[in-house]
């Protein structure tokens, strides 16, 4: 069971999501006024679902405000399938997106995949050059400096690092990291990689290399 926060100004959508996810024994907190999220104890939630198109505070703005407070996965619920909007959301710290209208099974699959990632128990750490992965707490450090990766960015980095030197396509990375298949714009993976690189370059390292026409590897 997980604690899930769902934010949408459409009460019918809130009720629908609650009905779907509560059948998996998740606790669902529904908020129809996005400004109320800022007064929530966000550390209580294992997953946050945000609608993009909301009055007063849209999902993009809300994500940027709360991402600095919480590291749980954030999933965007959007009627927009435009690639630029998807990339914008991922750049603000979201981990995934679901396009309206969505299917019951797809919603469950997305949520369950993120929850499984959160609940995996890992007991060790690995050092790869100057990069250290704390596998139990899902943190990454360059020397003694913490790299502020989102959950998805961490999982992609860990996956590539644990398979150092091997080249993986975007399809392979998506399936291995997220644990389910979907019809999706695989540029999502490219955008995550771009964000990961931007964060590591602050510490003067570039561990992820592009193998043109094939995919990515941890060098």
What pLDDT score does 101 carry? 84
Measured in whole angstroms, the distance separating CA 34 from the mean position of its chain's CA atoms is: 20
Instruction: Count how many domains the chain has.
Output: 2
Q: Are residues 108 and 186 in the same domain?
A: no
Higher pLDDT pick, 43 / 200 = 200
Instruction: Tell me the torsion sign for CA atoms 153, 154, 158, 159.
Output: negative
**Final residue belonging to a domain, choices 119, 153, 188:** 119
Q: Are residues 54 and 101 in the same domain?
A: yes
**Final residue belonging to a domain, choices 99, 119, 139:** 119
Residue 182 — pLDDT band, cuts 50, 70, 90? low
Residue 62 has pLDDT above 80, yes or no: yes
Q: Are residues 145 and 185 in the same domain?
A: yes
Q: Are residues 91 and 133 in the same domain?
A: no
**Final residue belonging to a domain, choices 83, 101, 119:** 119
Q: Are residues 155 and 90 in the same domain?
A: no
Q: Are residues 88 and 43 in the same domain?
A: yes
Task: Give the Cα separation of 80 and 78 in Å (integer).
Answer: 5
Residue 181 has pLDDT above 90, yes or no: no
Q: Are residues 27 and 102 in the same domain?
A: yes
What's the pLDDT tens digit per position in 87-120? 888 888 888 888 888 889 999 998 988 888 776 6
Task: Give the Cα separation of 200 and 116 in Å (integer).
Answer: 26
Q: Are residues 134 and 76 in the same domain?
A: no
Q: Are residues 70 and 36 in the same domain?
A: yes
Residue 85 domain boundaries? 3-119
Residue 32 has pLDDT above 90, yes or no: yes
Q: Are residues 208 and 130 in the same domain?
A: yes
Residue 215 has pLDDT above 80, yes or no: yes
The pTM score is 0.61
Q: How far is CA 106 from CA 15, 75, 100, in A?
A: 17, 13, 11
Q: Are residues 20 and 112 in the same domain?
A: yes
Tokens of 71: 């590291």
Q: Are residues 12 and 113 in the same domain?
A: yes
Residue 122 has pLDDT above 50, yes or no: no
Residue 79 has pLDDT above 80, yes or no: no
What pLDDT score does 121 carry? 47
Residue 144, domain CATH: 1.10.10.10
Task: Give the Cα separation of 70 and 86 in Å (integer).
Answer: 20
Residue 106, domain CATH: 3.40.50.2300
């Amino acid at each position: 069971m997980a604690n899930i926060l769902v934010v949408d100004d459409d009460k019918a959508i809130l009720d629908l999501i609650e009905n779907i996810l509560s059948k998996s024994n998740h606790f669902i907190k529904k908020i129809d006024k996005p400004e109320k999220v800022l007064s929530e104890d966000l550390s209580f939630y294992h997953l946050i679902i945000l609608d993009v198109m909301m009055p007063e505070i849209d999902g993009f703005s809300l994500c940027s405000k709360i991402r600095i407070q919480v590291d749980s996965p954030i999933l965007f619920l959007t009627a927009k399938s435009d690639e630029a909007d998807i990339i914008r959301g991922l750049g603000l710290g979201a981990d995934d997106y679901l396009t309206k209208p969505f299917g019951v099974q797809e919603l469950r699959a997305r949520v369950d995949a993120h929850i499984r990632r959160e609940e995996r128990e890992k007991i060790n750490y690995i050092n790869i050059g100057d990069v250290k992965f704390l596998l139990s707490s899902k943190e990454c450090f360059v020397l003694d400096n913490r790299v502020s990766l989102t959950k998805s960015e961490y999982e992609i980095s860990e996956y590539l690092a644990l398979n150092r030197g091997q080249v993986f396509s975007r399809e392979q990375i998506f399936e291995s990291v997220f644990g389910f298949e979907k019809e999706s714009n695989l540029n999502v993976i490219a955008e995550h990689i771009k964000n990961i690189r931007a964060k590591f370059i602050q510490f003067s390292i570039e561990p992820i290399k592009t193998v043109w026409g094939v995919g990515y590897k941890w060098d």
